[in-house]
């Protein structure tokens, strides 16, 4: 039985925050000291590494579950299915619903349950639950949905990735410029025209577990009880470049598809330079050079919205809304991600 993606949708928030909007921030090192350079230099270096020129933030009245609902509506419409036929709603995120100005994430009830409520689905056999798997959460949700369908436990699943990272960033941390908000969703069905050919997932937690973590602000005068998203950027870069290419290769080898048959690679939009290095090393495993147009990128304008990056990117390319990129029936693509855990996963897909 072919199991594939029959519909996609995304919600890109309306608030555009450009790099120059950070010029007046008081960026500090992790010990609270000043960098001693003008913010324009910090921002210029940041852009040269990450590729980010601007990012999107959600309107204050919209929470992560709202973004997920808006993306889900589009995916259901695109798949042309009756929402009451959904067997599972899987919502991948990291922090729950975050109200601006408050310090607690809200996951009671789950975000998947909130989306089911907003969609007004009456069927009690539509099971809704959340996926906490870091940035690779949406891919892991797709893998679980595939397992449900293959086992006969489900016929149709909705997998959502959403986040409002702008609400958990320390304004004194220069890494805060990376993060953004957004949501993407996909309907997974059996008897589809597309097909998930193989998948792979791994967790590295022997020394790597806290490469991404929660900690206090770098400003010593700030509230010591409030926690923000923090990361060891250099360690993540080295980890990703070492382990993601191998995971992708293992997944590709299992699929039986040759490297030259790959048309696109949809990789987590975390850092342009890091993604380029991952793809270069992946192709090097096969003694090949990466094709110039193999990797669509949305990070330049959308930033890093964690679990939302890949489903949003795929939706944009699928609907020919990302200049220079498209996919056609029969094309083979790879989805791959890395993030908190440290988790890595991938799947090979024939569109």
User: What's the CATH number where 340 sits?
Assistant: 3.40.47.10
Is the pLDDT assigned to residue 103 strictly greater than 90?
no
Please give the average per-residue pLDDT across 180-206, as a whole number. Answer: 95
CA distance 2 to 197: 9
Give the 3-state secondary structure of residue 164: strand
Short-list 4, 51, 5, 62, CA closest to 315: 5
Please give the average per-residue pLDDT across 206-220, as a whole number. Answer: 91
CA distance 164 to 56: 10
Burial of 289 (0-12, 13-18, 19+ CB in 10 A): exposed
Please, are residues 121 and 131 in contact by the beta-carbon 8 Å criterion? Answer: no
Short-list 107, 17, 127, CA closest to 64: 107
Query: In this structure, what are the phi and psi dihedrals at residue 204, rounded to the nearest 5 degrees?
Result: -105, 110
| Claim to verify: residue 175 and residue 299 sit in the same structural domain | no
Please, are residues 62 and 55 in contact by the beta-carbon 8 Å criterion? Answer: no
Q: How many domains does the chain have?
A: 2
Range of the structural domain that residue 288 is part of: 197-350
| Claim to verify: residue 227 and residue 188 sit in the same structural domain | no
Is the pLDDT assigned to residue 191 strictly greater than 90?
no
Helix spans in 111-202 (H)? 111-119, 137-151
Can you give the pLDDT at residue 100? 86
CA distance 197 to 64: 31
| Claim to verify: residue 260 and residue 211 sit in the same structural domain | yes
| Claim to verify: residue 75 and residue 112 sit in the same structural domain | yes
| Claim to verify: residue 163 and residue 302 sit in the same structural domain | no
Is the pLDDT assigned to residue 192 strictly greater than 90?
no
Please give the average per-residue pLDDT across 226-249, as a whole number. Answer: 94
| Claim to verify: residue 113 and residue 225 sit in the same structural domain | no
Q: pLDDT-based confidence at 218, cuts 50/70/90?
A: confident
Cα distances (angstroms) measured from residue 222 to each of 170, 177, 216, 217, 225: 10, 19, 8, 6, 9
Can you give the pLDDT at residue 94? 96
Q: Of 128, 161, 193, which residue sits at a domain end?
A: 193
**β 262-267/332-339 pair status:** parallel
| Claim to verify: residue 51 and residue 189 sit in the same structural domain | yes
Q: What is the pLDDT of residues 302-333, one digit of tens each?
A: 999 999 999 999 999 999 999 889 999 999 99
Please, are residues 65 and 115 in contact by the beta-carbon 8 Å criterion? Answer: yes
Give the 3-state secondary structure of residue 129: strand
Query: In this structure, what are the phi and psi dihedrals at residue 328, rounded to the nearest 5 degrees?
Result: -125, 160
Quickly list DSSP for 334-345.
EEEEEETTTEEE
| Claim to verify: residue 216 and residue 332 sit in the same structural domain | yes
Q: pLDDT-based confidence at 223, cuts 50/70/90?
A: confident
| Claim to verify: residue 153 and residue 242 sit in the same structural domain | no
Q: Of 164, 193, 222, which residue sits at a domain end?
A: 193
Percent of the chain with pLDDT over 90: 88
Is the pLDDT assigned to residue 221 strictly greater than 90?
no
* Residue 279 token pair: 């793809």
Can you give the pLDDT at residue 127? 98
Can you give the pLDDT at residue 102? 78
Lowest mean pLDDT among 111-125, 175-189, 224-238: 224-238
| Claim to verify: residue 318 and residue 230 sit in the same structural domain | yes
Q: Which residues pair with 181 in a beta bridge?
A: 164
pTM for the model: 0.95
């Amino acid at each position: 039985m072919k199991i594939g993606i029959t519909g996609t949708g995304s919600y890109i928030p309306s608030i555009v925050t450009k790099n120059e909007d950070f010029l007046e921030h008081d960026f500090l090192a992790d010990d609270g000291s000043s960098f001693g350079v003008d913010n324009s230099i910090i921002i210029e270096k940041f852009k040269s590494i990450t590729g980010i020129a601007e990012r999107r933030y959600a309107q204050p009245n919209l929470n992560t579950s709202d973004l997920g609902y808006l993306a889900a509506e589009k995916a259901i419409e695109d798949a042309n299915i009756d929402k009451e036929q959904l067997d599972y709603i899987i919502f991948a995120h990291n922090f729950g619903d975050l109200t601006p100005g408050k310090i607690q994430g809200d996951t009671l009830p789950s975000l998947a349950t909130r989306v089911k409520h907003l969609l007004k689905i009456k069927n009690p056999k539509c099971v809704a639950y959340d996926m906490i798997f870091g940035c690779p959460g949406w891919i892991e949700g797709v893998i679980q949905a595939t397992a449900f369908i293959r086992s006969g436990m489900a016929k149709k699943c909705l997998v959502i990735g959403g986040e409002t990272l702008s609400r958990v960033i320390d304004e004194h941390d220069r890494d805060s410029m990376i993060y953004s908000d957004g949501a993407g969703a996909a309907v997974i069905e059996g008897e589809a025209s597309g097909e998930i050919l193989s998948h792979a997932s791994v967790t590295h937690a022997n020394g790597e577990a806290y490469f991404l973590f929660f900690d206090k602000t770098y400003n010593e005068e700030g509230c010591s009880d409030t926690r923000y998203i923090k990361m060891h950027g250099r360690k993540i870069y080295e980890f990703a470049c070492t382990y993601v290419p191998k995971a992708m290769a293992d997944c590709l080898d299992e699929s039986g598809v040759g490297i030259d048959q790959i048309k696109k690679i949809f990789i987590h939009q975390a850092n342009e330079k890091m993604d380029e290095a991952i793809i270069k090393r992946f192709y090097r495993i096969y003694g090949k050079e990466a094709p110039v147009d193999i990797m669509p990128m949305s990070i330049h304008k959308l930033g890093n919205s964690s679990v939302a990056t890949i489903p949003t990117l795929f939706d944009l390319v699928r609907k020919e809304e990302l200049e220079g990129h498209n996919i056609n029936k029969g094309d083979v693509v790879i989805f791959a991600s890395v993030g908190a855990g440290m988790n890595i996963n991938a799947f090979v897909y024939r569109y």
